[in-house]
Amino acid sequence: MIKMVRIDERLIHGQVAMIWSKQLRIDRIIVVNEKAAADPILSSTLKMAAPDSVKVIILNEEKAKVLLQDPRINDLSILVIVNSPKDALFVAENATEISKVNIGNYGKANKNGEERMKLNDNVFLGEQDKEQLRKIIALGITTEYQLVPDQPITDMQTVL
């Protein structure tokens, strides 16, 4: 079962590896990212950042779509990590069941000169990002900002 989808530009790093993986009691991390799936060095680096007790799978969208619809994933405890709201929407539209989308770090870099709304020190959203998050919320999926589990939760529906 997919415990959570996390949007984080850094993909797998200390917060994900040490804090979220323990909090969620996961045994798998699935990274859905075209660049990481195509880059063996980046894939290896991401796998090394994960705890030894967690298996990491890095997939492009085509392969992720197949895996996300496989009923066997219901027997696993999974954290899906993406690096954008666009990719989170792809996962939300293609997975059989998702309870929550969590935003950690996103949008600090000014992308293509696009004006971005500052949600806090860790999240900056452009209009397209906000629209994609609204679509996730419209699917009935709880969408929230929470950097780490012991911090307060911001419901994205109230912010957007």
Classified as helix, coil or strand, 4 is: strand
CATH number of the domain at 6, please.
3.40.35.10
Q: Are 31 and 58 in contact, with CB atoms under 8 Å apart?
A: yes
Amino acid letter at 79?
Answer: L
Q: What angle do CA 72, 93, 49 make, to 5 degrees?
A: 65
Query: Which residue among 9, 10, 13, 122 is the active-site one?
Result: 13
The Cα 121–Cα 56 span in angstroms is 28
**Total number of domains in the chain:** 1
Classified as helix, coil or strand, 57 is: strand
13 is annotated as an active-site residue: yes
Q: Which domain holds residue 17?
A: 2-159
For the chain, 160 residues long, give each residue's pLDDT as a single digit of tens.
Answer: 999 999 999 999 988 888 999 999 999 999 999 999 999 999 999 999 999 999 999 999 999 999 999 999 999 999 999 999 999 999 999 998 998 999 999 998 766 778 888 999 999 999 999 999 999 999 999 999 999 999 999 999 999 9
pTM of the full predicted structure? Answer: 0.95
